[in-house]
Amino acid sequence: MMRKALLAVALSVSAFAAQADYQCSVTPRDDVVISPQTVQVNGENGNLVMTPDGNVMFNGQQKNLTAAQREQAKDYQADLRSALPWIDNGARERVEKGRVALDKIIAKEAGESSKMRTRLVTLDGQLKEQMNRIIERRSDGLTFHYKAIDQVRADGQQLVNRAMGGILQDSINEMGAKAVLKSGGNPLESVLGNLGGLQTAVQNEWKNQEADFRQFGKDVCQRVTSLESSRKALVETLK
C-alpha cells in the first residue's frame, strides 16, 4: 500500500494527462510557452502566437482578425495563463502533502532518525525534477512540454520502485534491530508486527488523500478539455 501511495504521488507529475490513475479523454499535442508578451501554442496542430490584446500569428502569418476572433484569442491565451500555473501548483502541492504525510508516519512508526525519511526527501526532490520536465518553470513564465508526459510517467515509476526497495530494506533493518534489543519474545514476530503497523498507517493515510487526488485529476481534465475546445474553435476561424 505504501507503493500505491508513492506511485500516486509519482503520477501527479503527469498533471496535464492524469492524476492518481484518472485518465482524461483529451491528450495535449502542443507545447505551450507562456511569457509576459505572448502565449505560444506549437505542435501537431500548427503554430499559434497570441498577445494579451488578442493579436494572432498563425503558422508564421499575422492574421487580420474580426472583433469576435480577437476576443476568442484574448480569452484563450488568458485561460492558458491561468490554467498552466494552477495545474503546476496543484500537482506540486499534492506531492508535498503526500511527502509530509508519509514522513510523519515513518517518524512515528520507525523513529525520527530513520533512514527512510532521508530516502523520502530524496524521492520528493527527484519527483519535482520530473514535474519540471513537463511544466518547466522559467524566470519569465512557464513552458508545457507535451512530449515529456509519457517518459516522465515511466521515469517516475522507476524512481518510486527504486525508492521502495530502499525503504523496504531500511524498514527491515531498523525494525529488526529494535526487535533484537527488546528482551524476550520473538524478534521476527516483532518485525512483522511493526511492518504491519507501518503498512496500516500508510493505507489509512492514502484513503484520506485518494479522493483529493482523483478530484484534482477530474478538474485538470475538465480544464484541458475546455482549453482544447477553445483552441480548435479559434484555429477553425483562422483557416
156-200: pLDDT as tens digits: 778 877 877 777 777 777 666 565 555 455 555 555 555 566 667
**How does the average pLDDT of the chain come out, rounded?**
80
Q: CB–CB of 187/84 below 8 Å?
A: no
What whole-number distance in Å separates Cα of residue 13 and Cα of residue 20? 10
pLDDT at residue 11, as a whole number: 40
Q: In whole angstroms, what is the distance from residue 35 CA to residue 209 CA?
A: 34
Q: Specify the number of domains making up the chain.
A: 1
Give the Cα separation of 102 and 100 in Å (integer).
6
Q: Which domain holds residue 97?
A: 2-238
pLDDT in tens, 74-103: 999 999 999 999 999 988 888 888 888 888
What is the C-alpha to C-alpha distance for residues 11 and 152, in angstroms, rounded to an integer? 9
Is pLDDT above 50 for 41?
yes
* pLDDT at residue 9, rounded to an integer: 41
Per residue in 6-31, pLDDT tens?
A: 444 444 333 333 334 456 788 889 99
Long-range contacts of 101-104 (CB under 8 A, 24+ apart): 101/205, 101/208, 101/209, 102/2, 102/5, 102/6, 102/202, 102/205
pLDDT of residue 44: 86
Give kind and range of the element (H or E) at residue 136. strand 135-138
Beta strands in 52-112 (DSSP E): 56-58, 61-62
Q: Provide the 3-class DSSP secondary structure of residue 172.
A: helix
User: What pLDDT is stored for residue 64 in this prediction?
Assistant: 95
